[in-house]
Structure 1
């Protein structure tokens, strides 16, 4: 039986914690100002950090096609981030994070099955069923127009993140670092333009600090995941990193005293099971 590096597990869990904290902080900032502005500034921070890494690492130059696909991924990811923060501004953060996280790993799997004729592991099929059940449970726990709108935005975020994963995976075949930078640059540029056009940036105020922190935490999660992936099998690293909604929910409960109904907790549990099964499969 292959051994599992304890340090790799720690990096994977640290990645999940960093992603979870980033989502929570971004959600809190979105309740105080425009979620669109928070997403734009957070993405810009990530873009600048990646630019510094590219200068230091100097990876091989990519093809134009890789950059173009990376940019398309960035647009999709930007829609996902903006939708996530908009959902967290009004909905239960733990539930929103869980639904978007489960959907984000389900979409690339379905693309692989139906468009690329890739095989599916039985456990992944169970994971897809759990993801669908999580959305149903979340729908039952989301009462009123505000709750249903938050759930709809969480599903839109899942689609945005899911297509980001699928497109970036293809773009990274040329040059991973450059594809990620192209993705971030396109996404942050789009968000900044839209936020400026709608006057959303003026709403940031003191929340800009939280927006920057969310961007730093997001990039930290990416770096920690890369470290975990270097020490662990892909499925295990992705599964550990993918439990980040649990940390978002725990922080929302500890800081905001957010309590989910039993149906909502069931939805979060099903979503986490879906993430682990689909990622590890």
Structure 2
């Protein structure tokens, strides 16, 4: 299996996980959902690392510290993303958050990678799509310009910044630790730190009901699997190819939201979503 296919598998896992996470968060709350999915991922990855006998990879403090840093940024990004999914439409939030690949590519450029004119044009097209997607154009004006920032859009933009930075940095610890162990470190620290952070901000963990618990288990496994697939793809393909393939998770979330959730984006949001998808697809194909 090549790096592009790993990226597409990561996209499917992320997209499905985000859709169900949004539903679970509406019942259990974003803080509780985030903690329990991290716990599920930790248990799943502990079994996987044991099965494949990769505990010996934990032999360098510097590499473990690097993995902890980048996975912490990923965790913060997920928190902002789920907050956006709760407060807004998944068909709007997901395409914006998927633009994290643009930030990853910009960082790659800053650190020496060079792109063609076509790839640069694709990045600009993606940013234009983000702008169109975040605006809700009302059919009739009441006051002001008739436009407002779509609910959840700001959270999605901040999530994209954190996720884009994290996914750029993950290439470094992956080379030494491997995909499974790198993500396992992140899930371990999240399981330990989230209850402490919640206590500081007086956030209470809510015990999920039976239906929500099933969703959280699915989300926890799929989200961990998505990150592992992304890391495995980095070992086989350039970062720009894998990250843009992974960012197509928004297509998956959109399909879940429209065909299962019954969401109906406005015309300008369809244009923005289309621009975003075309831009990301062009980056992936170059």
Q: Report what 2:13 is aligned to.
A: 18
Aligned counterpart for 2:213 among listed residues 208, 217, 230:
208
Does 2:98 match 1:105? no
Q: Report what 1:135 is aligned to.
A: 130
Q: Report what 1:253 is aligned to.
A: 258
Q: Report what 2:172 is aligned to.
A: 170
C-alpha distance in 1 between matches for 2:91 and 2:191: 25
C-alpha distance in 1 between matches for 2:24 and 2:16: 12
Residue ranges of structure 2 left out of the alignment (5+ in a row)? 139-145
SS of residue matched to 2:94: helix
After superposing the two structures, state which structure 1 stretch, 12-21 or 251-260, moved more.
Answer: 12-21
Alignment deviations for residues 1-37 of structure 1 (CA, whole Å, 9 cap, x no partner): xxxx7x9987665543322111100011122231122
Residue ranges of structure 1 left out of the alignment (5+ in a row)? none
Q: Report what 1:189 is aligned to.
A: 192
- Asked whether the equivalents of residues 20 and 247 of structure 1 are also in contact (C-alpha less than 8 Å), the reply is yes
- Asked whether the equivalents of residues 183 and 224 of structure 2 are also in contact (C-alpha less than 8 Å), the reply is no
Aligned counterpart for 2:75 among listed residues 57, 78, 87:
78
- Asked whether the equivalents of residues 28 and 208 of structure 2 are also in contact (C-alpha less than 8 Å), the reply is yes
Aligned counterpart for 1:220 among listed residues 220, 225, 241:
225
Aligned counterpart for 2:114 among listed residues 95, 119, 122:
119
Please report how far the alpha carbon of residue 45 of structure 1 lies from its aligned counterpart in structure 2 after TM superposition: 1.4
Please report how far the alpha carbon of residue 199 of structure 1 lies from its aligned counterpart in structure 2 after TM superposition: 2.9
- Asked whether the equivalents of residues 31 and 89 of structure 1 are also in contact (C-alpha less than 8 Å), the reply is yes
After superposing the two structures, state which structure 1 stretch, 128-137 or 231-240, moved more.
Answer: 231-240
Q: Report what 2:158 is aligned to.
A: 156
Please report how far the alpha carbon of residue 179 of structure 1 lies from its aligned counterpart in structure 2 after TM superposition: 2.5
The 1:269/1:193 distance shift into structure 2, 3 A limit, reads farther
Alignment deviations for residues 183-237 of structure 1 (CA, whole Å, 9 cap, x no partner): 2322343333333553341264442332221111223334555777788887666
SS of residue matched to 2:152: helix
Aligned counterpart for 2:46 among listed residues 51, 56, 66:
51
The 1:110/1:214 distance shift into structure 2, 3 A limit, reads same
More helix by share: 1
Q: Report what 2:36 is aligned to.
A: 41
C-alpha distance in 1 between matches for 2:228 and 2:67: 18
Please report how far the alpha carbon of residue 99 of structure 1 lies from its aligned counterpart in structure 2 after TM superposition: 0.7
**Number of paired residues?**
274
Alignment deviations for residues 114-159 of structure 1 (CA, whole Å, 9 cap, x no partner): 3x23312333312320221122102223889995451110011111
Q: Report what 1:273 is aligned to.
A: 278
The 1:101/1:13 distance shift into structure 2, 3 A limit, reads same
The root-mean-square deviation of aligned C-alpha atoms, in Å, is 3.0
C-alpha distance in 2 between matches for 1:227 and 1:26: 24
